[in-house]
Amino acid sequence: MLSVFQVLKNGICAQKKRKLVEQKLEVQESESEEQPKQVEHDLKRSRRKESLDQIEQEMTKRRTQEIQKRNTLLKKLKIKISGDNINTPILSNFCKMKNYLNQDLMNQLQKCGYQKPTPIQMVAIPIILQKKNLIAIAPTGSGKTCAFALPILQNLEIHKEGGPRCLVFAPAQELADQLFKEFNKFNKELKIKQIQEMNREKQAFKQAWNHIDILISSPLKFLKLHKVVDLSTIEYVIMDEADKYFELGLLAQVKQLLRILESLQITYMFFSATLPEPVEDIYRDLLIDPIKIMIGGRNHVLSRIDQQLRYVSNEYGKIQEIRNLINEGQMTPPILVFVQSKTRAEALMYEIEQLKVIRVNCIHGDMESKSRQEIVEQFHKGTIWMLICTDMMARGIDFKDVQLVINYDFPQSMITYVHRVGRTGRAGKQGKAITLFTDEDKTMLRSLANVLKVSGCQVPEWLFQLPTANKNLKKKRERFPVKRENIEDQ
């Protein structure tokens, strides 16, 4: 017989077995119920992954299409952009600019007759608005001043006391005058001054400094006075005609200027129509991660300028060619004529005055600033039809609607040629440039042929068969002009 203890023990064991069986059955039932749910969950996750993959593929496709469209537009406009973070927008029309510029600036653009942004404006404006260091190379007459004036006015927006927030440097007073006019063409709120017009007595200068938003100056004038003022308000520095500082031997001044400002958080912009590679390398060393824009080529003339070469044998032939142009009716004013020295400018003016058919004057660096300004103003008004200049007038100055540029004396370098010719064909208009050359100028014709080709001109094949001038000859021509016969002796 089983003891009471054994009976109880067997009963407990049976209960445990039943419980285990019941738990097992419950697990099996639970698993059978969960299985369809898991399958449904896995299916949903798979579909979601497929949907996300499709969205990602679609976004990748769109990005690729946008990049291709952007690259096609850049290629069409002959725009090259290099540097870090260069995927800035291209403002190909003024409708797109509404998202970047305030209504006052848009109204002024319309009032001034701007219809479509130029290539340099399309790419430079958004870069400057993002406060990035910039090196910009674009042909003369392509709208560079507007390309930096608009975004600066937008970023500064309203007048603030305390000192200038933007410094604009120009290598010549005539260019400074023009920059002042261009900024004020769009400006309503900001206080803009030229250092030339300010009282440079230290205390007076310091007091005036505090009420300025934008200061236009030459590097030298600024360096003479910077110690008496607080520079901490400066946010932007613009150097127009950036390569000219090196031609004028101002590299030491530029480096000193940048050293003075290097402790400040400043955005730098360097603009020019021509920027030789050695000069560009120097600027790159001075800047942090600059973006570089190049419109066309390094020494590029706008294709809308009709460029012609005319052989005249000698100095007497030049005078005869001027008479021929007058007789042919090709002297449509306003006309700029470039010569290599002030003596030749005055002599040529006298010779043309004797013809008594053209109102002519001349301008050069030995004249007082006030006299030069008066002559430029007369030329703008049409009182003077032909203005004979030295190369000081070839840089940056916007002579309105110049119909014809005559290189009476062959330019000393191709950079000089680009700047001279760039006085015509501005603001989207057609222009014409005639370059006279004598037997003494033939050594430089091969270099000119390259510039003509890059600019889209048809170049006679014989020009490419001429020998290329070596570096030493080019440097010599840049420093020392050709000795020519006197104009008055012809």
DSSP per residue, 87-112: ------SHHHHTTTS-HHHHHHHHHT
DSSP letter, residue 250: -
Task: Answer yes or no: is 2 within a domain.
Answer: no
Distance CA 142, CA 125 (A): 14
pLDDT given for residue 153 in this prediction? 96
Which residues does 55 contact at the CB level (< 8 Å), separation at least 6? Answer: none
Same domain, 283 and 315: no
Residues of the chain with pLDDT under 70: 1-50, 85, 246-249, 396-398, 490
Contact 128, 271 (CB under 8 A): no
Residue ending a domain, among 295, 315, 337, is 295
Nearest to 242 by CA among 226, 256, 231, 254: 254
Phi, psi of 431 (to 5 degrees): -145, 170
Same domain, 404 and 368: yes
Contact 392, 366 (CB under 8 A): no
Which residues does 194 contact at the CB level (< 8 Å), separation at least 6? Answer: 176, 177, 180, 215, 216, 217
pLDDT given for residue 387 in this prediction? 95
Axis crossing angle, helix 144-156 with helix 119-129, rounded to the nearest 10? 30
Alpha-carbon distances, residue 467 vs 9, 415, 462 (angstroms): 119, 20, 11
Q: Which domain holds residue 472?
A: 305-489
pLDDT given for residue 40 in this prediction? 64
Axis crossing angle, helix 144-156 with helix 103-111, rounded to the nearest 10? 150
Same domain, 329 and 401: yes
Half-sphere exposure of 487 (CA within 13 A, CB side): 20
Residue ending a domain, among 295, 330, 363, is 295
Distance CA 353, CA 345 (A): 12
Task: Answer yes or no: is 114 within a domain.
Answer: yes
CATH number at residue 108: 3.40.50.300
Total domains in the chain come to 2
pLDDT given for residue 232 in this prediction? 93
Task: Answer yes or no: is 355 within a domain.
Answer: yes
pLDDT given for residue 225 in this prediction? 86
Same domain, 212 and 330: no
- For 121, other C-beta atoms within 10 Å of its C-beta total 24
Task: Answer yes or no: is 424 within a domain.
Answer: yes
Nearest to 139 by CA among 404, 361, 456, 473: 456
Same domain, 243 and 312: no
Same domain, 254 and 286: yes
**Paired tokens of 342:** 């002030």
Same domain, 345 and 268: no
pLDDT given for residue 48 in this prediction? 67
Task: Answer yes or no: is 38 within a domain.
Answer: no
pLDDT given for residue 124 in this prediction? 95
pTM: 0.76
Nearest to 280 by CA among 261, 294, 301, 264: 294
Distance CA 44, CA 38 (A): 10
pLDDT given for residue 2 in this prediction? 44
pLDDT given for residue 429 in this prediction? 84
Distance CA 444, CA 473 (A): 9
Residue ending a domain, among 295, 319, 345, is 295
- Amino acid at residue number 145: T
Same domain, 282 and 311: no
pLDDT given for residue 41 in this prediction? 63
Strands 79-82 and 291-295: antiparallel
**Paired tokens of 132:** 């990035």
Task: Answer yes or no: is 204 within a domain.
Answer: yes
Same domain, 159 and 268: yes
pLDDT given for residue 85 in this prediction? 65
Task: Answer yes or no: is 447 within a domain.
Answer: yes
Q: Which residue has the tokens 């449904």?
A: 40
Task: Answer yes or no: is 399 within a domain.
Answer: yes
Same domain, 97 and 227: yes
Same domain, 369 and 475: yes
Nearest to 337 by CA among 399, 415, 294: 399
Same domain, 279 and 346: no
